[in-house]
Amino acid sequence: MDLKTFIRDVPDFPKAGIVFKDITPLLADPAAFAYAIGEMAKPVAALQATHVLGLESRGFIFGAALAQKLSLGFVPARKPGKLPRAAFREKYGLEYGEDALEIHRDAFKAGDRVLIVDDVLATGGTANAARRLVEQTGASPIALTLFIELTFLPGREKLSGLPVFSVLRY
């Protein structure tokens, strides 16, 4: 299945010069979405993960589906102020600004093996912040799996030492 046919480019969103990868056509097609999740699961199925960490917000969609497929627990990494209990926070830079992610302080424990999941890898700031969040809990980030990797940006380089798996590359 050619999954690229389910991705729309939206120029100048969220700001001029950015080409946004719109995944909503993929999500609207149950066969294509199931195929995408299956492709994301293949390289990580044998890694013995205990949890999936899904990154807000589109990483929630892929992460929850992947956790279900792999029979793993799911933990959301949220934007600041969205979690009701004590949380760790990590700031990161985007290609168009700055933001932060949070996870509950008790989301993971020592010995947990966490698979980080997102929709797109661009500059690597979000994924690297997620890795640092996992490490703060005492758990081990074991890999990053995502749907799209923008290879013309330095995301993979920022994640040295963390295996990165992507289904589509642009």
Q: Which domain, by its residues, includes 107? A: 3-169
Catalytic site positions: 58, 95
Give the tens place of pLDDT for each residue, 20-55: 999 999 999 999 999 999 999 999 999 999 999 999
What does R_g of the chain's alpha carbons equal in angstroms?
15
Is 130 in contact with 155 (CB distance < 8 Å)? no
Q: What is the CATH number of the domain that holds 85?
A: 3.40.50.2020
Query: Total domain count for the chain?
Result: 1
The model carries a pTM of 0.95
Q: Per-block average pLDDT, block size 10, for the chain (170 residues)? A: 98 92 98 98 98 97 98 98 98 80 98 98 94 98 98 95 98
Q: Are 162 and 133 in contact (CB under 8 A)?
A: no
User: CA 31, 34, 38, 44: dihedral to nearest 10 degrees?
Assistant: 160
Helix, strand, or coil here: 70? helix
The residue to which tokens 């994640």 are assigned = 159
Q: Which residue has the tokens 């700055």?
A: 98
